[in-house]
């Protein structure tokens, strides 16, 4: 199984060079500022800022389009239903179905916010190894239990994914076919899941012993691993200013669906 | 059953994060009260990774297929580790595959995590009986799996329908959306209950220690 998130981790861009803790604070704040926006003019600015950040990150456009494929199904469901269900002002009639202006604008609002947030999140997590990001979260105050669980889970997801792949291939070679719902099929799939759980549980016992032998629990605080320079602080300041600009602009423009409909 | 970014208002997302922070804090407090809290971390982590992978198994429901949720079984096996485990799993799903979202991480953790804790208590009800009864155990296992998914669906539909940024959805359309989504998820409840029950039978035969919790 290939997660593919670290495909372009070795590129050189201001976002790749930005220190992980500052990048987390800056881009997460920007993401939340984006989720605050409801005004159409601010939405257009949001598109501009998102495109600029993505271009500066030097990540390829094809990478973004590939990442959009899965989440877009939910968006597609909204695009296909909301314009017909939501609103009062009919702008178009297709047979017995009326398309409402308010529903259409709501879809525009959701789609732009969704794609913009997803793009910024991609810049955040595709320009730093996920392992470093989790360590940065720990340095910013994530409880140790959560950070350790996340790091260990991340370490083993790919291996357990490979185990599942092998087991599924063995089942197919022995003639198992998932064509219809039956008790026999359910039992077989439950036992497949059970085997994965048991194998992982047994592996965890060896992992714990290995961790204790290597001095688990006596590591220095991860804050020492990170060092910020003036450029990191300045970049954070700029991004925070942009985020504050979105919130202020949206409040000044009226912040609400009514603003969107003007 | 994951709400993506861009759909919910920021107040709901903030509320989701506040609730998640409170439940996570309580769970970690309970974990730290154990004699050796570090001992459970590798088990909880590897089972988190395993549940993450097991959720990729698709069950055929012609003409389509559904993937397993298993938050009920996760709650039953991990106990107080279940909520942090679900939070981590959802974070990875959002980051790696774009399922769910970062702003909605808190609310999605509430949708999946609170029913997992509920399932943990349903699962423990099995021990109340004076003698062992496989049928009774099976019924509680089924309930733990089905109720967890059922409550998740109820919270998910409730949040989505009441918080869509459309001020003009008619009451009839809203009701129709709720009923359609609820009915569409009914087979999932049965499948989750059955799979949870079958999985527990398997674990009891192969590795009963795993059912004692982390």
Contacts of A120 (CB under 8 A, 6+ apart): A27, A30, A31, A34, A50, A53
Q: Are A105 and B165 in contact (CB under 8 A)?
A: no
Does B167 touch chain A if contact means CB atoms closer than 8 Å?
Answer: yes
Q: Are A209 and A181 in contact (CB under 8 A)?
A: no
Which is nearest to B132 in space by CA: B208, B70, B189?
B208
ipTM of the complex: 0.84
pLDDT (0 to 100) of residue B209:
80
Q: Are A55 and B30 in contact (CB under 8 A)?
A: no
Q: What is the pTM of this model?
A: 0.87
Q: Is the pLDDT of residue A261 over 50?
A: no
pLDDT (0 to 100) of residue A217:
67
Report d(CA B29, CA A128) in Å as an integer.
31
Residue A244 lies in a domain: yes
Identify from A65, A84, A190 which residue to disrupt to test chain B contact, counting B C-beta atoms within 10 A and taking the largest count.
A190
Question: A186-195, B15-24, B59-68, B102-111: which range is least confident on average?
Answer: B59-68
- Chain-chain contact of B28 with A86 (C-beta, under 8 angstroms): no
What confidence category does residue B98 fall into, taking pLDDT thresholds of 50, 70 and 90? confident
pLDDT (0 to 100) of residue B28:
92
Identify from A194, A215, A256 which residue to disrupt to test chain B contact, counting B C-beta atoms within 10 A and taking the largest count.
A194
In terms of DSSP H, where are the helices of B59-170? 71-78, 82-92, 105-124, 134-163
Q: Is the pLDDT of residue A68 over 50?
A: yes
At the topology level of CATH, where does B10-212 sit? Answer: Arp2/3 complex 21 kDa subunit ARPC3 (1.10.1760)
Residue A49 lies in a domain: yes
Q: Is the pLDDT of residue A259 over 80?
A: no
Report d(CA B82, CA B51) in Å as an integer.
11
Number of domain units in chain A: 1
Contacts of A195 (CB under 8 A, 6+ apart): A167
- Chain-chain contact of A204 with B103 (C-beta, under 8 angstroms): no
> Which tens digits make up the pLDDT trace of B104-126?
999 999 999 999 999 998 888 87
Cα A210 to the chain's mean position, in Å? Answer: 32
pLDDT (0 to 100) of residue A241:
96
- Tokens for A41, please give them: 């003019």
Domain with A19, as residue range(s), is 14-136+226-261
Q: Is the pLDDT of residue B25 over 90?
A: yes
Q: Is the pLDDT of residue B214 over 70?
A: no
- Chain-chain contact of A204 with B47 (C-beta, under 8 angstroms): yes
Region at A154 (left for phi over 0; alpha for psi -120 to 50; beta for the rest): alpha
Token pair 């549980």: residue: A201
Q: Is the pLDDT of residue A31 over 90?
A: yes
Q: Is the pLDDT of residue A256 over 60?
A: no
Q: Is the pLDDT of residue B66 over 80?
A: no
What confidence category does residue A223 fall into, taking pLDDT thresholds of 50, 70 and 90? low
Contacts of A137 (CB under 8 A, 6+ apart): A24, A147, A150
Q: How far is B128 from chain A (nearest CA, A)?
A: 25
Q: How far is A262 from chain B (nearest CA, A)?
A: 15
Report d(CA B143, CA B138) in Å as an integer.
8
Which is nearest to B149 in space by CA: B194, B199, B87, B193?
B193
What confidence category does residue A257 fall into, taking pLDDT thresholds of 50, 70 and 90? low
Report d(CA A19, CA A239) in Å as an integer.
14
Question: A82-96, A209-223, B44-58, B71-85: which range is least confident on average?
Answer: A209-223
What confidence category does residue B189 fall into, taking pLDDT thresholds of 50, 70 and 90? confident
Higher pLDDT, B40 or A215: B40
pLDDT (0 to 100) of residue B167:
56
8-state DSSP, A220: P
Q: Are A67 and A118 in contact (CB under 8 A)?
A: yes
Higher pLDDT, B64 or B39: B39
Neighbours of A184 (CB within 10 A): 8
Which of A35, A153, A179 lies closest to B13 in CB terms? A35
pLDDT (0 to 100) of residue A222:
59
Report d(CA B69, CA B113) in Å as an integer.
11
Report d(CA B97, CA A228) in Å as an integer.
30
- Tokens for A170, please give them: 């063995």
Note if the bond before B142 is cis, omega within 30 degrees. no
What confidence category does residue A233 fall into, taking pLDDT thresholds of 50, 70 and 90? very high
- Chain-chain contact of B165 with A38 (C-beta, under 8 angstroms): yes
pLDDT (0 to 100) of residue A1:
45
> Which residues of chain B does A197 touch, with a Cβ-Cβ cutoff of 8 Å?
47, 50-51, 54, 77, 199, 203, 210
Q: Is the pLDDT of residue B162 over 90?
A: no
> Which residues of chain B does A114 touch, with a Cβ-Cβ cutoff of 8 Å?
4-7
5-64 of B, contacting A, C-beta below 8 A: 5-8, 10, 13, 24, 28, 31-32, 37-39, 41-54, 56-62
pLDDT (0 to 100) of residue B46:
85
Does A247 touch chain B if contact means CB atoms closer than 8 Å?
Answer: no
- % of chain B surpassing 70 pLDDT: 90
pLDDT (0 to 100) of residue B130:
64
Cα B15 to the chain's mean position, in Å? Answer: 19
- Chain-chain contact of A153 with B70 (C-beta, under 8 angstroms): no
What confidence category does residue A255 fall into, taking pLDDT thresholds of 50, 70 and 90? low
Q: What is the mean pLDDT of chain A?
A: 85
Cα B136 to the chain's mean position, in Å? Answer: 23
86-125 of A, contacting B, C-beta below 8 A: 86-88, 100, 102-103, 106, 109-118, 121, 125
Provide the residue count of chain B: 214
Residue A20 lies in a domain: yes
């Amino acid at each position: 199984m290939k997660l593919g998130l670290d495909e372009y981790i070795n590129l050189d861009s201001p976002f790749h060079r930005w220190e992980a803790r500052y990048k987390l604070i800056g881009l997460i704040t920007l993401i939340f500022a984006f989720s605050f926006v409801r005004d159409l003019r601010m939405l257009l600015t949001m598109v501009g800022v998102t495109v600029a950040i993505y271009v500066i990150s030097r990540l390829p456009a094809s990478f973004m389009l590939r990442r959009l494929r899965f989440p877009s199904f939910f968006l597609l469901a909204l695009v296909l239903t909301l314009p017909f269900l939501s609103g009062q002002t009919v702008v178009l009639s297709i047979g017995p179905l009326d398309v409402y202006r308010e529903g259409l604008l709501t879809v525009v609002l959701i789609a732009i916010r969704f794609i913009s947030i997803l793009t910024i999140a991609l810049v955040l997590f595709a320009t730093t190894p996920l392992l470093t990001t989790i360590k940065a979260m720990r340095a910013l105050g994530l409880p140790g239990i959560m950070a350790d669980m996340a790091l260990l889970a991340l370490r083993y997801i790919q291996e357990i994914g490979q185990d599942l792949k092998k087991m599924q291939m063995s089942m197919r070679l022995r003639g198992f076919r998932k064509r219809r719902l039956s008790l026999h099929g359910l039992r077989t799939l439950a036992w497949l899941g059970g085997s994965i759980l048991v194998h992982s549980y047994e592996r965890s016992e060896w992992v714990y012993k290995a961790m204790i032998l290597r001095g688990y629990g006596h590591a220095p605080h991860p804050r020492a691993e990170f060092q910020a320079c003036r450029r990191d602080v300045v970049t954070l300041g700029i991004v925070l200013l942009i985020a504050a600009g979105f919130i202020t602009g949206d409040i000044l423009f009226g912040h609400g669906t009514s603003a969107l409909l003007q | 059953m994951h709400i993506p970014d861009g759909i919910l208002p920021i107040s709901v997302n903030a509320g989701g994060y506040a609730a998640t922070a409170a439940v996570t804090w309580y769970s970690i407090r309970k974990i730290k009260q154990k004699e050796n809290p570090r001992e459970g971390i590798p088990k909880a982590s590897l089972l988190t990774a395993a549940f993450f992978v097991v959720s990729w198994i698709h069950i055929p429901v012609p003409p389509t297929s559904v993937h397993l949720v298993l938050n009920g079984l996760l709650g039953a096996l991990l106990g107080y580790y279940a909520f942090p485990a679900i939070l981590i799993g959802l974070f990875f799903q959002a980051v790696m595959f774009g399922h769910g979202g970062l702003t909605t991480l808190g609310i999605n953790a509430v949708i999946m995590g609170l029913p997992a804790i509920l399932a943990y208590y349903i699962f423990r009800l099995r021990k109340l009986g004076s003698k062992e009864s496989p049928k009774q155990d099976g019924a509680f296992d089924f309930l733990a799996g089905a109720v967890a998914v059922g409550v998740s669906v109820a919270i998910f539909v409730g949040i989505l329908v009441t918080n869509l940024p459309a001020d003009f959805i008619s009451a009839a359309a809203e009701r129709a959306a709720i009923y359609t989504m609820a009915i569409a998820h009914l087979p999932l409840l049965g499948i989750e209950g059955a799979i949870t029950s079958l999985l527990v039978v398997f674990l009891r035969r192969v590795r009963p220690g795993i059912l004692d919790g982390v």
